Structure 1
Amino acid sequence: MGEHRVHLSKSAPTAYKALDAFAKSVGAVAADAGIDARLKELVQVHASQLNGCAYCVRVHVDRAQAAGVSSDTLMQLSVWRESGVFSDRERAALELTEAFTFISEDGVPDDVYDTAAELFTKDEYVALSWILVSINAFNRVAIAGRYPVPSRDDVDV
């Protein structure tokens, strides 16, 4: 069941290339705004967790680790509200991640927006918003196609 799902990126490569180009544009906007790789990857991992996208979690955990994010910090993402390992800016970005990911529920609530506006410049807020639009789009492509995430274990347990 589900093994023969349509692979959207392979089935419509022109559309996928446009999405990939969009993601590259978003990356440039983020870099120009001064969003560092750590923050960019933390929000992308968290959005992917919230959406249940194992494929994108794998991709962005790898990128986060390459950006110097520790395994301990990554393990704390799902409980960031109770964890002391995130800065105020990271906490505001993670709250914004949840608002964008579940946007149909409450939009971006005023308190979330106001906190972000206090801690980020307008350019940083715009960049974070586009990062979240982008990762949510990629999550949907991968989830709909049930993109596989093979085990990295060398030995079966």
Structure 2
Amino acid sequence: GLFRADQISAIKIQTLNYLSDYLGMNISHKINYTLIGQDFIKEKSHGISGDLNGLFYRKGDKFDIYVLYGLRRNDLYQVLAHEIAHAWMSENAKSERSLEENEGFAQWVAYHFLGHLGLQEQQRILLAGDDVYASGLRMMLQIEKERGKRGVLDYVTK
């Protein structure tokens, strides 16, 4: 079913714990999370990475994640993992990455979180398609196959 605003914090904590415990990804900035309508996300996302279910926005040391209001719980897991991955990259990447690398990495994090939650059907959907999200994800999975999860983190932060 749909989630309520107060449920976002439980899912957020679950997502952050997974990233920390299983992927070794810790965020040092405090992130503000806001549930928001699609018009706002469309307007803000002009030229900024993200699908229209969520958006990571950084201004100096202020980190914001906007999440589309009314998503199903399973979609919320995916969107939060994806956007928190962008926040992590923003803290850790030493140079600009391509759109495919940025989105591919964020999808890679979401992909692993969905697998951890037993949501294989949703994982398959992420892999399908020929946009930068899917092709970037396949690129990251190939790097993982060759160098492991740590290798992916090293690759995107170099």
Q: Same fold (TM over 0.5)?
A: no
Structure that is richer in strand per residue: 2
- TM-score, L = length of structure 1: 0.32
Query: Highest relative contact order (Cα 8 Å, sep 6+), 1 or 2?
Result: 1
Structure number with larger C-alpha Rg: 1
Structure that is richer in helix per residue: 1
